[in-house]
């Protein structure tokens, strides 16, 4: 959704969730997490050495890079998603990622998605959209996406992961998942991709119009 909107209006797309996934993948590759136990001290030492970037691919979309390597496919597994959700609850990790996200958005002209973007990262964003859908529908979509990418999993595993992430993200003390007071709500449970994009474009155009009126 965010990628399609950014591409249509000529903005840069930044996947904030991919940044936490990148940190999660780093932890897995360097054995900083074993049996769901994170080596906090070592992670804090190594976190400053991570360079996370978004570079365009041949399709004109952004791929995630970690220390110069393309990790876009590697971070889209259930295992990395699980670790990323754990990593995202650590205060110093969130603080580091938020600062990086704010730096990336400093020049504006961006579309960024994530679970705390409208509340903590960019509380003064010109347009905030809180997207929702049932866990079952989201799991079905994610399962189909993973299946299309050749990843082996089951719908039940994906649904469990979605519910666990929701519970962890809404109950954490640091930057919990919640709707910003001035955010528009988009329930896309039963919208087609085309209907969804049209909804977003209308919201964007109305926002631009209001901004122009205030100048």
The per-residue pLDDT for range 168-198, each reduced to its tens digit, is: 888 877 778 889 999 999 999 999 999 999 9
CA terminus-to-terminus distance, the chain: 29
Evaluate if residue 150 carries a pLDDT over 90: no
Confidence of residue 146 (pLDDT cuts 50, 70, 90): confident
User: Considering Cα of 199, then 200, then 203, then 209, what sign does the dihedral take?
Assistant: negative
With vertex at residue 161, the alpha carbon angle to CA 1 and CA 72, rounded to the nearest 5 degrees, is 50
Cα separation, 18 vs 23, whole angstroms: 9
The per-residue pLDDT for range 48-78, each reduced to its tens digit, is: 999 998 888 888 778 899 999 999 999 999 8
- Yes or no: say if 140 and 117 are a contact pair by the CB < 8 Å rule: no
DSSP codes joined into one string, 145-168: HHHHTT----HHHHHHHHHHHHHH
**What pTM, to 2 d.p., does this model score?**
0.74
What's the mean per-residue pLDDT of the chain?
91
Domain range enclosing 149: 2-214
CATH of the domain at 155: 3.40.50.300
**What's the domain count of the chain?**
1
The per-residue pLDDT for range 71-121, each reduced to its tens digit, is: 999 999 989 998 998 998 899 999 999 999 998 888 788 999 988 899 989
- Yes or no: say if 27 and 21 are a contact pair by the CB < 8 Å rule: no
Which residues are paired to 118 by β-bridges?
A: none
């Amino acid at each position: 959704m965010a990628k399609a909107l950014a591409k249509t209006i000529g903005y840069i797309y930044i996947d904030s969730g991919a940044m936490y996934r990148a940190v999660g993948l780093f932890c897995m590759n360097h054995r900083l997490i074993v049996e769901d136990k994170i080596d906090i001290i070592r992670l804090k030492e190594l976190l400053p050495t991570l360079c996370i970037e978004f570079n365009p691919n041949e399709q004109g979309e952004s791929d995630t890079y970690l220390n110069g390597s393309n990790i876009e496919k590697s971070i889209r597994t259930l295992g990395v998603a699980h670790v990323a959700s754990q990593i995202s609850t650590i205060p110093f990790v969130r603080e580091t990622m938020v600062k990086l996200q704010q730096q990336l958005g400093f020049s504006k002209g961006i579309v960024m998605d994530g679970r705390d973007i409208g509340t903590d990262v960019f509380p003064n964003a010109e347009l905030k959209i809180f997207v929702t859908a049932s866990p079952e529908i989201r799991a079905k979509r994610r399962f189909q996406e993973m299946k299309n990418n050749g990843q082996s999993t089951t719908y039940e595993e994906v649904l469990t992961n979605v519910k666990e992430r929701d519970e962890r993200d809404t109950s954490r003390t640091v930057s919990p998942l919640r709707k910003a007071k001035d955010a528009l709500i988009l329930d896309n449970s039963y919208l087609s991709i085309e209907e969804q994009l049209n909804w977003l474009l209308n919201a964007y155009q109305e926002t631009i119009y209001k901004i122009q009126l205030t100048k």
